[in-house]
Structure 1
Amino acid sequence: MDLRFSLAVPREAPSIPMIRRVVGDALRGLGVAEDCVTDILVAASEACTNVVQHSRADGGFTVAGQVAGGTCQLRITDRGRGPRPVPPPKELDDLSESGRGIRIMRALMDDLSIDSVPGSGTVVQLRKRLTWRDENPIGRLGHRLLHSAG
């Protein structure tokens, strides 16, 4: 089953729990395992918090998601001037506040990319292979369809 969604939200802190709720409910509704949902929500929260705290853009930002082929992909986009340069992961001090969210996202997700173009904004892409609950409703539906077709 494929699922696509897109949210356009104001660049304000109250947007972050709303995004967590929508994404979490969608993933849980598909039967994604809770630990996998948690990883995705923490990484998405970090990316959205970076937009709220560091984007130098007026207006809002978007969160677009897709669940397909056993993976979840999220794309967080703002239209700011782009972030200040972020040091590579090995140059970050373990006690430093700066860059901690990026390390968290890298640890929780299978793939993270951050593309920034001055004047066009920043796009954070997160990708994770999904794990499923045993009582996955989508899996049961697929099994029934396969069984009835065979």
Structure 2
Amino acid sequence: MLGDALRSLGVTETCVADILLAASEACGNAVRHGGPANRYEVGAAIGNGRCELRVMDGGLGLTTIPQHYPPPDMEHGRGILIMQSVVDEITFDVTPGRGTTVHLKKTLTWDDPTPTTQTETPKVLATV
């Protein structure tokens, strides 16, 4: 749904791919670390030339953020670093024992930039 909304606004495919990759990594982390029910919530807003995502889980809360990629033979541990490489801003709200909220923000790039597209007020797409 998010990819279709971005494409319908004329966002470049490279930018859409970056946002969807970051969202996928955040959701994967929420499933992996989000608690016994593996439940999480995703919210997205597009406006003012940006896309903002929020992924919330109910896990124990993130404890550390990796500073470098793990060795190639490790299966996990790259998600946060991948997100950092494809979005402009990533922040975490952690409530120990109650979960983590990942905030992802990316400035949009346009196939055909127009002032109207870039200055719209934010629109919340959905919270799932």
Asked whether the two chains share a fold, i.e. TM above 0.5, the reply is yes
> Unaligned stretches of 5+ in structure 2?
118-128
Residue 99 of structure 1 is aligned with which of 68, 73, 77?
A: 77
Larger helix fraction of residues: 1
Residue 69 of structure 1 is aligned with which of 31, 45, 48?
A: 48
| Residue deviations 1:44-91 (CA, integer Å, cap 9, x gap) | 0000001112211436211111111101100000122223x234414x
Report how many residues are paired.
116
SS of equivalent residue, structure 2 residue 97: coil
**Aligned-partner residue type, residue 70 of structure 2:** D
> Unaligned stretches of 5+ in structure 1?
1-21, 144-150
Identity fraction in percent: 45
Match of 1:56 in 2: 35
Higher relative contact order (CA 8 A, sep 6+): 2
Q: How much does 1:100 deviate?
A: 0.5
RMSD over equivalenced CA pairs, Å = 2.1
The 5-angstrom pairing of residues 117-132 of structure 1 reads 117-132=95-110
Change (3 A) 1:111 1:94: farther
Q: How much does 1:113 deviate?
A: 0.9
Query: Does the 8 A contact of 2:91 with 2:104 survive in 1?
Result: yes
Structure 1 residue ranges, 4+ long, deviating more than 6 angstroms after superposition? none
Match of 2:121 in 1: none
For residues 13 and 45 of structure 2, the distance between their equivalents in structure 1, rounded to whole angstroms, comes to: 18
| Residue deviations 1:85-118 (CA, integer Å, cap 9, x gap) | 234414x534344431111000000001122211
Q: Which has the larger radius of gyration?
A: 1
For residues 124 and 94 of structure 1, the distance between their equivalents in structure 2, rounded to whole angstroms, comes to: 24
For residues 76 and 93 of structure 2, the distance between their equivalents in structure 1, rounded to whole angstroms, comes to: 18
Normalised to the residue count of structure 2, the TM-score between the two structures is: 0.79
Match of 2:67 in 1: 89
For residues 13 and 65 of structure 2, the distance between their equivalents in structure 1, rounded to whole angstroms, comes to: 32
Query: Does the 8 A contact of 1:58 with 1:80 survive in 2?
Result: no
Check if 1:80 corresponds to 2:59. Answer: yes
Normalised to the residue count of structure 1, the TM-score between the two structures is: 0.68
Query: Does the 8 A contact of 1:56 with 1:82 survive in 2?
Result: no
Match of 1:29 in 2: 8
